[in-house]
Amino acid sequence: MGKRVAQLERAILFTKLSVALTCSWPPSPLATKNRLLLFNALWCTAFASSVALFLPLLAAIYEYYKSPIILGKTVSLASAVAQVVIKMIICRLQQRRFQVSRLFMLYFDMENFCKHATKTERMVLERYVHKYKYFHCIYILWSFITTAFVICGPLYSSQTFPTHAIYPFSVKHQPYNSLIFFHQSLVGFQASSGMGIDTQVALLLRYATARFELLGIQLRNAKTNSEFNVCIQKHIDLLRYTKEIRLSIKYLVLATIATTTTAVIFGSLNLIANQPLILKTLYATVVFSASVELFMYAWPADGMMRMSERTATSVYGTAWYNRDISVQRKVLRIILRSQKLETIGISGIVPQLSLSHYAKYLYTSLSYFNALRIMVGDPSPL
């Protein structure tokens, strides 16, 4: 049992560490005033650091707009930095939602539930950790390895720095040269940490999925009317919890779609350009990382949607016909409510985030890339 607890704690700790450079994991509602001040200071420092590179990258986009290759590199890297800036702002604005009221302390509720889980609950949570831990770890490691490849760009190209950012002062002499290189490297790892926010959200979605599965087990095991009423109340609370998750992450999903689409399209320009193989390999990793990012939302969102639908099957499989009429009415409401899937969506943009939507996203990105490729003067077929 101790090993299971350790696995759950390690999964949460690993996620917290992966997003440390963005300060996106909200502090505990029980945190002291000094810890909150420290957290706010670190967030402001991390945010200022990201903006300090994003603005020079915008200047570089303006400067090199007639050079498709450099433009493609700069836009894809600027999209990564823009994404971490936007995600930090969204997480900051949502921290009030993450911490206020008993039901809606999303991360605190998850950690507290894992800490006090029963044997059955722990077994289900452990199964989810074991099933997805390798994918989450590989995704995070790949994100940081991609940044390391970009940072090493000056080793196999004529660039002085990892990016083509343009500054309003000379950066050819020391100590400015070393400081700029260090800062660009730091922001690169912040962008990797920003991709870690995807696993942070995925952790919430998988936790909600596990709670729906546990609810199904409890419904099937309910023997008395009081036990059944407890399950019904848990279903109501869980629906409120998933609603808060949807409200909290929908803008993160929107920011991810916008920035990764841009990074995939412009980064792919370097794959068809006449450049050394090592540079093509570098931007192939950037494009692959960006294209996989939305998958980190779509996969757990798809799983939560399908597991919430199974609640109707679970409750219908119980001996509801032996209950009194008031309980039967509640069963009917659960079945009817379960027909409305718990989905993540943005009106007019993402009707339903799922694996099928992710496939459409890849197809659309490829179509945009083909159009842009022809515009920059390479009409050869892909």
pLDDT tens digits, one per residue of 328-360: 787 787 787 777 777 787 777 777 888 888 888
CB atoms within 10 A of CB 83: 25
Judged against a pLDDT cut of 70, whether residue 375 lies above it is answered with no
Judged against a pLDDT cut of 80, whether residue 62 lies above it is answered with yes
For residues 244 and 183, the model is more confident at 183
Q: Of 131-140, 300-309, 373-382, where does mean pLDDT reach its minimum?
A: 373-382
Across the range 59-88, mean pLDDT stands at 86
Judged against a pLDDT cut of 60, whether residue 378 lies above it is answered with no
Across the range 30-52, mean pLDDT stands at 91
Judged against a pLDDT cut of 80, whether residue 382 lies above it is answered with no
The token pair at 43 is 């967030």
Predicted pLDDT of residue 372: 66
Residue type, 125: L
Q: What are the pLDDT digits (tens) for 101-149?
A: 333 478 888 888 888 888 888 889 999 999 898 999 999 998 898 888 8
DSSP 344: -
CB 263 within 8 A of CB 116: no
Nearest alpha carbon to residue 209 among 294, 335, 113, 305: 305
* pTM confidence score: 0.84
Terminal Cα distance for the chain, rounded: 54
Predicted pLDDT of residue 328: 77
Share of the chain above pLDDT 90, in %: 20
Compute the distance between CA of residue 177 and CA of residue 306 in angstroms, rounded to an integer: 53
- The enclosing H or E element of 2 equals helix 2-18
The token pair at 328 is 């039967």
Predicted pLDDT of residue 50: 94
Predicted pLDDT of residue 379: 46
CB 77 within 8 A of CB 150: yes
Judged against a pLDDT cut of 80, whether residue 292 lies above it is answered with yes
Predicted pLDDT of residue 377: 57
Chain mean pLDDT for the chain: 82
Across the range 151-180, mean pLDDT stands at 83
Compute the distance between CA of residue 167 and CA of residue 118 in angstroms, rounded to an integer: 57
Nearest alpha carbon to residue 375 among 13, 54, 34, 71: 71
Predicted pLDDT of residue 97: 52
Q: Quick one: how far is CA 105 from the chain centroid?
A: 18
CA angle 233, 236, 238 (to 5 degrees): 110
Q: Where do we find the tokens 């597991």? A: 307
Predicted pLDDT of residue 104: 41
Q: Quick one: how far is CA 73 from the chain centroid?
A: 23
Predicted pLDDT of residue 184: 92
Q: Where do we find the tokens 């930090």? A: 88
**CA distances from residue 193 to 292, 337, 367 in whole angstroms, order as listed:** 15, 37, 29
Predicted pLDDT of residue 188: 92
CB 69 within 8 A of CB 275: yes
